[in-house]
């Protein structure tokens, strides 16, 4: 496992749409393992493959001692709304107020190619939506109604 460099806003990779994963082999497992180590070191909540320069539809989220690996995720339903502050490991030193769905259902695949479903709400739904946006080249700053500096 290796710590990967987290690219920052301004890098054109962050604005590109990611490609679907078709090979659930060793390379994908290595990416997931590296992303987990990178996320731990950065003390973040989530990390998408484009943030480490890999244009694949992969993200990870770690919330309340629960860890999720999502490959080729699709948000199949959403409801309600919540407004809150978000930051991003690729937008250091800033935060913004963003509206997200309150509840979502996501269908994705694990590292072995097995499909699973997650029903998320509140902060977990926010984290999933934030990382999902990265797969389409969207940053939270694009959706923020206001921005601020971290203290």
| pLDDT tens series, the chain, 151 aa | 799 999 999 999 999 999 999 999 999 999 999 999 999 999 999 999 999 999 999 999 999 889 999 999 999 999 999 999 999 999 999 999 999 999 999 999 999 999 999 999 999 999 999 999 999 999 999 999 998 887 6
Tokens of 18: 């990611």
Q: Is residue 115 part of a domain?
A: yes
Planar angle of CA 113, 12, 9, nearest 5 degrees: 95
Catalytic residue among 30, 69, 86, 131: 131
Q: Is residue 5 part of a domain?
A: no
DSSP 8-class letter at 12: G
Tokens of 141: 């700053």
We report the CATH number of the domain holding residue 68 as 3.90.45.10
Q: Is residue 3 part of a domain?
A: no
Query: What is the side-by-side strand order in the sheet with 103-109?
Result: 46-48, 58-63, 66-79, 103-109, 115-121
CB atoms within 10 A of CB 75: 16
Predicted model pTM: 0.96
Q: Is residue 145 part of a domain?
A: yes
Residues 77, 56: Cα–Cα separation, whole Å: 22
Q: Is residue 114 part of a domain?
A: yes
Q: Is residue 4 part of a domain?
A: no
Q: Is residue 6 part of a domain?
A: no
CA 10 from chain centre, in angstroms, equals: 18
- The answer to whether residue 149 is catalytic is no
């Amino acid at each position: 496992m290796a710590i990967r460099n987290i690219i920052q806003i301004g890098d054109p990779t962050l604005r590109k749409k990611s490609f679907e994963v078709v090979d659930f082999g060793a390379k994908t497992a290595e990416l997931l393992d590296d992303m987990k180590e990178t996320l731990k070191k950065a003390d973040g909540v989530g990390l998408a493959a484009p943030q480490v320069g890999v244009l694949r539809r992969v993200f990870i989220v770690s919330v309340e001692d629960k860890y999720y690996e999502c490959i080729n995720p699709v948000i199949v339903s959403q409801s309600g709304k919540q407004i809150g502050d978000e930051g991003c490991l690729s937008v250091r030193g800033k935060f913004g107020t963003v509206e997200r769905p309150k509840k979502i259902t996501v269908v994705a695949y694990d590292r072995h190619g097995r499909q699973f479903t997650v029903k998320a709400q509140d902060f977990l739904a926010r984290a999933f939506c934030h990382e999902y946006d990265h797969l389409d080249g969207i940053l939270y700053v694009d959706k923020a109604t206001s921005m601020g500096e971290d203290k």
